[in-house]
Amino acid sequence: MEQLSAAEIRAARALIGWSQVDLAEATRLGPRTIKRAEGDERLTAAADFAIRTAFEKAGVVFLTGADDLAGKDIVAGVVLVRAPK
């Protein structure tokens, strides 16, 4: 599985209405780590996993190819499957 891109992270945040601070809190990473991730800095595998997991728990799916896209909100290869609680 490829590391999330800065564009995917920003798009996922936008889809669920999270700020960088919200994402930092959901992942237990520092806000500076989130800022660096969105600035195209390479993440550690653990940080990438934490970010991906937080988004997936919030209903975000990252596309890998010919996924079924009917009726889903799509931004930069990121799909919101269900609205955050």
List the domain boundaries for the chain.
Answer: 6-80
Look at residue 82 and tell me whether its pLDDT is greater than 60.
Answer: no
User: Over the chain, what is the mean pLDDT?
Assistant: 82
Domain 6-80 fold is: 434 Repressor (Amino-terminal Domain) (1.10.260)
pLDDT at 76 (0 to 100): 47
pLDDT at 60 (0 to 100): 86
The per-residue b/e assignment along 49-70, b for 16 or more CB within 10 angstroms, e otherwise, is ebbbebbeebbbbbeeeeeeee
The neighbour count for residue 2, using CB atoms within 10 Å, is 8
